[in-house]
Structure 1
């Protein structure tokens, strides 16, 4: 039940996403099929058994869970439907430019064009709906930049601790809490919990709201 509680707290079911986005089921299916909308981040297969006065009953159900930020993504698609990847790339670039950190990693510099296509693939697969708070380009860009800065800092002989802590806090704001069975293998465990423990950083009070995530 802990997994289901987590998913119900942080994600939309398919029905909830359709209601939040005022979208018909066949329209959602078409957006996913056409490569404009991410797939669900989690799919549960539930086998139910019930006993009552009327006797035993068994049923199977499949439940899809989507990042809550995808309702806002659908709204953006409806406003500008012609170039989903272009919208993703533009928002990603603008988020990188607005963040108060920089990285020398080639994928965020000269290799950014190729990196954006890779990121788009992960976005459509639903991966970033799982590991970022909103699933949206802004949190994805923040997550990637923060991890690059953390890696650079921890590989240095004399790391800039203020820069490192800023990157860890940025990653904390962008990263999801992760499902209970995923936490020990997650980027949060490695780059947030592990780095704070290693360098003695205090955890911050993180505001988890994102546009479109209510």
Structure 2
């Protein structure tokens, strides 16, 4: 159920602001100044509640922010991210460290060997798109915590998995299947479960569930 999912992973805007120790007006100002993401979900309620006390009808709009974005609010205060330039620089400092750490790891190096064009795609245009999606609340939808490190790992996981599986089942040798399995595990660790109505159309289905059934389960059989 959508509301169960939203209430488990997100906070309605007023509750989020209270948790973060800011007013609703201050939160709106941070979004207007493009230093904090927009709500990841906007829920239009046209509902009715019936109990022995009352029969209540409500028309309202609820905005949901990822619970993990409290860490971004804390960073705004701690590091004085008072302009978009400062916020973007801080975001990409962390993002770049995550990228370099991953590509220097054994798993990252091996993935880059079999898909050498992927690292080159993390260019300035990709950075612009990433920042705009961050501000739109996209990574509150598709990652567990919305943090720059998770954003990079989600992007890299999807890109490498799609490249490795592009030729279809049966196209990979055992070493490549082992790399693929690790990439799927990595993506699974940072990617959200997605809302019930999104799950079948999201990258989790395409890059984790389908890959496990079409590539990895068969390889293990």
Which band: TM-score by shorter chain? 0.7 to 0.9
Q: Confirm or deny that 1:136 pairs with 2:147.
A: yes
Superposition deviation, residue 109 in structure 1: 2.8
Shift of 1:158: 3.2
The change in CA–CA distance for 1:57 and 1:10 in structure 2 (over 3 A counts) is closer
- Cα offset for 1:67? 1.1
Question: What is the 5 A alignment of 1:1-214?
Answer: 2-51=1-50, 56-80=55-79, 81-82=81-82, 83-99=86-102, 100=105, 101=108, 102-103=111-112, 104=115, 108-109=119-120, 111-155=122-166, 157-159=171-173, 160-201=176-217
**In 2, distance between residues paired with 1:34 and 1:105?**
37
Higher helix content, 1 or 2: 2
Once superposed, what is the RMSD of the aligned Cα atoms?
2.1
Aligned length: 201
Q: Which runs of 5+ in 1 are unaligned?
A: 203-214
| 8 Å CA contact 2:118, 2:160 repeated in 1 | no
After TM superposition, which residue ranges in structure 1, 4 or more long, deviate above 6 angstroms? none
Q: CA separation of 1:105/1:114 partners in 2, compared to 1, >3 Å: closer, same or farther?
A: farther
Cα distance change of structure 1 residues 51 and 185 upon mapping to structure 2, 3 Å threshold: closer
How high is the TM-score relative to the length of structure 1?
0.85
Long gaps (5+) in structure 2: none
Mapped to 1, the partners of 2:57 and 2:131 lie a distance apart of 40
